[in-house]
Amino acid sequence: GSLHSLVPGVPNVYEAVMRTIGNIVLPICSTDYIPAYGFGAKIPPHNNLSHCFALSGVPERYMVQGVDGLINAYKSSVANAQLHGPTIFSDVSDRFISNSCFRGWTCCKLEIESSDVCPVP
């Protein structure tokens, strides 16, 4: 099975990480809304490969409310998109940092981008 497998009532690895990190960083944000982007998937309706897309499926609606909103958007995206490699973080890290309370956190961006060389299962 995939690490993205969705089992009702049982959080997968990605959900657990999103909840943990979200609960740490959300309190330092000025609002309850956070950007929710995905990467490495073929997105309906045309199934074009994207390395940065709004989890909502609507480019203009990339913000979600709170950690639960993030996890719900993730679950919806996993159910509707076709996961596809390669894993490239730089597009999504650029957009996330420029559209969030983390503006100016270039150290985060550099750390995330350096992960591009490491495969993600």
Residue 37's SS3 state is: strand
CA pair distance 99, 34, nearest whole angstrom: 8
CA pair distance 81, 50, nearest whole angstrom: 10
Q: Where are the alpha helices (DSSP H) in the chain?
A: 13-25, 66-80, 90-98, 106-114
* pLDDT tens track for 62-91: 889 999 999 999 999 999 888 888 878 788
Prediction pTM value: 0.76
Structure tokens at 33: 């809304």
CA pair distance 26, 37, nearest whole angstrom: 16
Residue 102's SS3 state is: coil
Q: Which residues contact 23 (CB under 8 A, 6 or more apart)?
A: 67
Kindly provide the b/e burial profile for residues 21-30, where b requires at least 16 CB atoms within 10 angstroms of the residue's own CB: ebeeebeeee
pLDDT of residue 115 exceeding 80: no
What does the angle CA 43 – CA 26 – CA 51 come to, to the nearest 5 degrees? 20
pLDDT at res. 110: 46
Greater pLDDT, 7 or 107: 7
